[in-house]
Amino acid sequence: MAPTPAADELARRVAPGLDSLDEVVASELPSDEAVHLGGPAEFLSEVVMPMLAPLVRDGLRLRVTLGLSDDLLAGLAAGRLDLVLSTIRPRLRGVQSDPVYDEEFLLVAAPGAGPAEPLVAYAEDLPIVRRYWRSVFGRRPSMAAQVVMPDLRGVLSAVRAGMGVSVLPAYLCRRDLEAGTLVTLAEPEEPPINTGYLAVRSGARTRPAVGRVRDHLVRELRAVRSF
C-alpha cells in the first residue's frame, strides 16, 4: 500500500503538531518510560543488546521489536517505535537518521569446502548473495539456493554444519573464523559493506530516555564502525 498525494499533504500539515504533542507528553511522562527499539534480529541480538546493558543496569526500560527495515520504519513513522536501526536509508517525513555502522560481508564455508558446494541463503531471491557476487565477481550469481532459512543465525548454523557455503556479515561469523570452524573462500581487496542507520522521529528525540539511548548507540556504534 502507498499513501495518496492527499495523504502525503495531510501528513506534512499535521507533522509539526504531532511533534509538539510528543514534546508536551514527554514532559509529563515518568522518567522510567520504556524506549521502543526496532532493528534486524541478528544485529540487535549480537551487537546492540550488549551495548545497551549498562543503560539497562542503570534503570532503562527497553522494549525490542525485530523485523525488516521497511516494516520497522513504518512503525517508527506511525509512532509505534522510538528508534530503529535500519539497513536502508530512511526517507520518511518527520524521521531523522544518522549513518552509524558498516556491515562487512564474507563468503564462508566449513573447513574443506569449496565454492562449488550447495548454497545456503537467507531468502529465495538471494539478496545478500547477489550483492556480494556483483561487488566481488562483477556478475549475478547463477546458482539457486539449496537451503533457505530467513534467519542469518540459522544460515550460520547450517554452514557450520557443512551444508554448504553462504555470504554472512562478519560480526556474525567472526568467532567461528577465529576458532577455525569456518573459513573464508574469497579475500577481496574491498569486502562488500552495507551501511546501517539509526533513525528517530523528530518529536521522540526530545524525550530524555529516547535521547539517552540514541546518543549512547551513536557513540558506541561509531567507536567500532565496521562489523
Strands (E), the chain: 34-39, 61-66, 83-86, 95-109, 120-121, 147-148, 166-169, 183-184, 193-201
Label residue 198 exposed, middle or buried (CB < 10 Å: 0-12, 13-18, 19+). buried
Task: Tell which CATH classification among 3.40.50.10680, 3.40.50.620, 3.40.1160.10, 3.40.190.10 matches the domain 103-193.
Answer: 3.40.190.10
Using alpha carbons, list the distances in angstroms from residue 132 to 55, 138, 187: 36, 9, 12
CATH code of 5-16+32-102+194-224, in short, is 3.40.190.10
Digit-coded pLDDT (tens) for 169-219: 999 999 999 999 999 999 999 889 999 999 998 888 889 999 999 999 999
Residue 13: pLDDT band with limits 50, 70, 90? low
* Distance from C-alpha of 119 to C-alpha of 125, rounded to nearest angstrom: 12
Q: Write down the pLDDT at residue 5.
A: 61
Q: Write down the pLDDT at residue 18.
A: 56
Of 58, 57, 55, 39, residue with least CA distance to 47: 39
Query: Looking at the predicted structure, is the pLDDT value of residue 30 above 50?
Result: no
**What's the whole-number average pLDDT of the chain?**
89
Q: Scanning the structure block, which residue is given the C-alpha cell 532503562?
A: 60
Instruction: Assess contact for 204 and 210: CB atoms under 8 A.
Output: yes
C-alpha cell at 97: 537518521
> Which residues, 6 or more positions from 164, have their beta carbon under 8 angstroms from its beta carbon?
109, 113, 117, 118, 119, 120, 146, 147, 158
Mean pLDDT of 77-89: 95
Residue 12: pLDDT band with limits 50, 70, 90? low
pTM for the model: 0.81
Instruction: Assess contact for 87 and 196: CB atoms under 8 A.
Output: yes
User: Long-range contact list for 220-223, CB < 8 A, 24+ apart?
Assistant: 220/51, 221/51, 221/100, 221/101, 221/196, 222/100, 222/101
Query: Looking at the predicted structure, is the pLDDT value of residue 21 above 60?
Result: no
**Angle, CA 41 vertex, CA 89 and CA 210 arms, to 5°:** 65
Digit-coded pLDDT (tens) for 93-108: 889 999 999 999 999 9
Q: Specify the domain boundaries for CATH 3.40.190.10 within the chain.
A: 5-16+32-102+194-224, 103-193
> Which residues, 6 or more positions from 19, have their beta carbon under 8 angstroms from its beta carbon?
94, 201, 202, 203
